[in-house]
């Protein structure tokens, strides 16, 4: 059941400029953005933040896309997962790694990552451990953040945490409003 009707591009003249900006930044006005257009101010802020996270972050594309895919898995957001598989593949993430993210069980001690450690660099492993912790536990233990600090400079830490937080917002928005269902 649709919980909110998407705004079809071109049907509301007052949104033309906003739709053009989304189109320029993303190449299309996806169903997510069609739903967001129901609230032009939220859509505007969302587009600015998510564009910064996706397109202007210091994170490597592979780390960024692994984090996004993992958040989608943990939050049961297949629309977001499917939307980012092509980006992950383009960033050099293997099909095997993508498939492993779908079936990897969450464990607070991160023991599940041992099964796929051969597929991931140390930086990718730490990013995914932080992703799981921020998404499921919320509070990040000092010991884990010390590992993050070994691999990411201050900007990288902000970019990583912002990416995880932003895509938790995205997946929860998609789920609550049944976008892509």
Give all domains of the chain, ordered by start, each with its CATH number: 13-55 (no CATH), 61-177 (1.20.1290.10)
Tell which wins on pLDDT, 153 or 104.
153
pLDDT band at 112 (very low <50, low <70, confident <90, very high): confident
Q: How many CB atoms lie within 10 A of CB 113?
A: 19
- Highest mean pLDDT among 18-32, 61-75, 94-108, 115-129 belongs to 61-75
**Residue 115 pLDDT class (50, 70, 90 cuts):** confident
Q: Give CA–CA dist 54/56, Å, rounded.
A: 6
Q: Does residue 143 surpass a pLDDT of 80? A: yes
State pTM to two decimals: 0.94
* Ranges assigned E (strand) in the chain: none
Q: How confident is the model at residue 99 (pLDDT cuts 50, 70, 90)?
A: very high
Q: What percent of the chain has pLDDT over 70?
A: 100
Q: Mean pLDDT over residues 39-46, rounded? A: 96
Q: Please tell me the distance from the alpha carbon of residue 76 to that of residue 79, in angstroms, as a whole number.
A: 9
The answer on pLDDT for 7 being more than 90 is: yes
Q: Which of 96, 64, 83 is nearest to 174 (CA)?
A: 83
Q: If you average pLDDT over every residue of the chain, what do you get?
A: 94
d(CA 150, CA 53) in angstroms, rounded, equals 22
8 Å CB contact between 168 and 75: yes
Q: What is the mean pLDDT of residues 27-49?
A: 95
Q: Cβ distance 9 to 36 under 8 Å?
A: no
Residue 128: its pLDDT value, please? 96
């Amino acid at each position: 059941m649709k919980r909110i009707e998407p705004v079809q591009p071109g049907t509301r003249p007052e949104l033309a400029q906003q739709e053009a900006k989304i189109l320029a930044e993303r190449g299309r006005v996806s169903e997510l953005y069609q739903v967001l257009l129901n609230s032009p101010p939220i859509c505007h802020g969302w587009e600015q933040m998510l564009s910064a996270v996706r397109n202007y972050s210091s994170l490597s594309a592979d780390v960024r896309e692994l984090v996004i895919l993992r958040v989608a898995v943990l939050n049961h957001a297949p629309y977001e997962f499917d939307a980012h598989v092509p980006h992950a593949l383009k960033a050099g993430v293997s099909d095997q790694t993508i498939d492993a993210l779908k079936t990897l069980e969450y464990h607070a001690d991160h023991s599940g990552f041992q099964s796929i450690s051969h597929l991931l660099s140390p930086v990718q492993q730490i990013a995914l451990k932080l992703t799981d912790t921020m998404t499921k536990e919320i509070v990040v233990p000092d010991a884990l953040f010390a590992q993050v600090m070994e691999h990411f400079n201050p900007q990288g830490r902000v970019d990583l945490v912002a990416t995880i937080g932003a895509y938790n917002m995205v997946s929860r928005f998609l789920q609550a409003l049944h976008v892509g269902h």
